[in-house]
Every structure is written in structure tokens, then in C-alpha cells.
Structure 1
Amino acid sequence: GDLPVALVLRGDHDLNSVKAETLDEIAKPLRMASAKEIEEATGSAPGSVGR
């Protein structure tokens, strides 16, 4: 099956999904993970990567 891919951005930046979908590693169409999926994959809540 497909493995998740993390796209990490600074808090003051926005993701351009059109540009992201040009990357070979990104599924088309781009789908954002749910909060539950993020917590299961990383053990952390969305938006809490750290400082």
C-alpha cells in the first residue's frame, strides 16, 4: 500500500497543492491526513512538531 509522506512547512507559509502534486512522491490528488492519521503515524498532534 501507499505510505504517508510528510510535507513540513514553517508556520508562516502555506502549502501550494498544485506545486506539491508535481513531486513524484505525492499522490494525485493530494489528500491531507486527518488528525487521527497524523497522531497514529507520528505520535504527535497536528501542528506540534516542536520549536
Structure 2
Amino acid sequence: MFTRPAPAASPIYDQLVEEHGDVLGDARKLAEITHQQAERLLAPAHHPDEAPGRPE
């Protein structure tokens, strides 16, 4: 997905990460977790007695 910029390319970003933590990286991880949870929760539920793909 997204990668952190190379250290030589952005010394200001590296300094901010040292001072405040990798806020953008943390936000990306949380967004991915939230996306996975939403996909799982919004996926159509199948009951054990129903054939997959069979309309209700």
C-alpha cells in the first residue's frame, strides 16, 4: 500500500516522526483495519442451510 518516504528524501518528516511518532503510518494501519472490518460486517451473511450464491 503506502510506504514511508526514504530517510534521505525527507529529513523534516523523519524529525516529526521522531518527535511525535509515525502518525500517518498509524492512521494507514487503522484505516486498513477499519476497511477489513467493514467488508466483513457488510458482506452478505449466509446461513448454514443456504447454498452460497443462492438468492433469498
Report the TM-score, using the length of structure 1 for normalisation.
0.21
Structure exhibiting the larger radius of gyration computed from Cα positions: 2
TM-score (norm 2): 0.20
Higher relative contact order (CA 8 A, sep 6+): 2
- Structure in which a larger fraction of residues adopt helix: 2
